[in-house]
Amino acid sequence: MNSISFLGRLGRDGEFKMVGDTPLLSLNVANNVGFGDKKTTNWFNCNIWGKQAASLEQYMTKGKLFAITGELTLRKFERKDGTEGVSPEVRVDRIEFAGGKNEESETIAPPETFNEGVCEPNNKFSSIPARNEPSNKPGSAPAPNEVADEEIGSDIPF
């Protein structure tokens, strides 16, 4: 399986067109790699096909940040000077808004957060007692170290 996932910004507004009866949304996405003097930008031509293309067209504006997952192919082409080049293309399987420039005041619910194995929406964390910490809730089972020694061993034959 050939799969790529990356975070990038749209270099221009998405271009919507019909290919036969199938909608196509083409995106030009910039992905920055490295730091300081070694920072480079990789450009990907991304294609979204089908119903998803038609529904996403209005949101695909220059500068917005997206997380993209899809299938990578390398398309060879000939430049004007006669040299051969390679263009990375991604058939998008999944795209997620990741925030970015030119955002209007869109309210997006915060993602679920995880805290020691407990998942609750809206950044609310549950307190989980430590393994041997007694519980103060009435009717709760005692922690392992709260069981009296007399209760253990009365039925053990040795």
Q: pLDDT digits over 72-89, tens only? A: 999 999 999 999 999 999
**Given CA atoms 93, 14, 108, 52 in this order, what sign does their dihedral have?**
negative
Beta strands 40-49 and 84-100, pairing class: parallel
**Given CA atoms 148, 154, 156, 158 in this order, what sign does their dihedral have?**
positive
Helix and strand numbers (H, E) in the chain are: 1, 8
Phi-psi region of 154 (alpha: psi -120 to 50; beta: other; left: phi over 0): alpha
Distances (CA, A) of 14 to 61, 84, 108: 6, 26, 22
> Residue 3: pLDDT above 80?
yes
Whether the predicted model's global pTM rises above the 0.85 cut: no
The token duo for 139 is 């009717």
Distance CA 102, CA 92 (A): 23
Q: Average per-residue pLDDT in the chain?
A: 74
- For residue range 18-55, list pLDDT tens digits in order: 999 999 999 999 999 999 999 999 999 999 999 999 89
pLDDT of residue 132: 39
Domains and CATH numbers, the chain: 4-100 (2.40.50.140)
